[in-house]
Amino acid sequence: MGTAARRKPKRLAEKLLAVRVRLGLSQNGLIRQMGLAKDVTQAEISMFERGIRVPPLPILLEYSKAANVYLEILVADELDLPPELPAKKRTRPD
């Protein structure tokens, strides 16, 4: 294994914040809605939204479920979130 830093999506933090805001939730409200009270703290959500930390895959998956978007939309920098969240219909990214 190499010692190089893991590459992280440039727009991930922006998208995670947008998901929470568009859902009309506080950080603690998001944690409750996703059922992650035992797994993540408000401080960690803050770090994810500010780009300080990258959330683990299970947390990213819960974000994608809450927004009703494919995980790829959250992670791929070239893909945008749909205008309305949660998305009315989960469609495959182009």
Residue 1 above 60 pLDDT? Answer: no
Q: What is the pLDDT of residues 29-81, one digit of tens each?
A: 999 999 999 999 999 999 999 999 999 999 999 999 999 999 999 999 999 99
CATH class of 12-75: mainly alpha
Residue ranges per structural domain of the chain: 12-75
**Side chain identity, residue 83:** P
DSSP tag of 6: P
Q: What is the pTM of this model?
A: 0.90
Please tell me the chain's helix, strand, coil percentages from 3-state DSSP, rounded to the nearest 5: 45, 0, 55
